[in-house]
C-alpha cells in the first residue's frame, strides 16, 4: 500500500524497509531514503500531521522530517507490536492500532494503551477476530 506523506512524498513497505520516494517524483525510490527499523519488521504505516508512525513486529518507530534525506527516526518506548495491520486508524491527532495487550494510541500526548483500565489483556485477546 502506498501512503501519502507531506511535501509531495509517498511511502510504502517493501520487505524489511519503509521506502520513501523522491518528492513529487512517484517513480523514483532511491535506496538511500530507505528506513529500516533496527529491531523488527514493519507491518503498517500511519500518518498524522507531519509524522509517520511505522508500526512493526516490535516497538513502533516515529519518523519526521521535511524531505526524505532529513527524516529523523525515534523508537517509541511503548513495546507494543501491531498484530493486525488492517486495524491501523490514522486520525488528525494520532494513530491507533491493535496490539497483543489492547488498543494502542500514539499522538501529541505520547503513546499509551487506550484500553488499559477498561479491559484486561485476557479480555482483549478473547475478542473475536
Matching residue, cell 503498517? 44
Neighbours of 73 (CB within 10 A): 16
Tell me: pLDDT of 87 over 80: yes
User: What whole-number percentage of the chain has pLDDT above 70?
Assistant: 100
Separation of alpha carbons 43 and 61, rounded Å: 11
State the pTM of this model. Answer: 0.94
Residues 18 and 14: their CA atoms lie apart, in Å, by 6
Q: Is 85:45 a contact under the CB 8 Å cutoff? A: no
Amino acid at each position: 500500500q502506498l501512503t501519502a506523506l507531506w511535501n509531495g512524498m509517498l511511502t510504502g513497505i517493501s520487505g524489511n524497509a519503509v521506502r520513501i520516494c523522491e518528492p513529487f517524483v512517484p517513480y523514483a525510490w532511491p535506496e538511500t531514503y530507505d528506513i529500516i527499523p533496527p529491531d523488527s519488521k514493519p507491518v503498517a504505516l500511519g500518518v498524522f500531521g507531519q509524522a509517520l508512525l511505522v508500526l512493526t513486529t516490535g516497538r513502533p518507530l516515529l519518523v519526521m522530517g521535511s524531505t526524505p534525506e532529513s527524516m529523523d527516526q525515534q523508537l517509541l518506548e511503548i513495546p507494543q507490536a501491531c498484530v493486525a495491520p488492517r486495524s491501523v486508524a490514522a486520525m488528525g491527532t494520532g494513530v491507533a492500532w491493535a496490539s497483543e495487550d489492547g488498543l494502542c494510541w500514539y499522538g501529541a500526548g505520547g503513546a499509551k494503551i487506550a484500553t488499559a483500565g477498561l479491559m484486561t489483556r485476557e479480555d482483549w485477546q478473547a475478542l473475536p477476530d
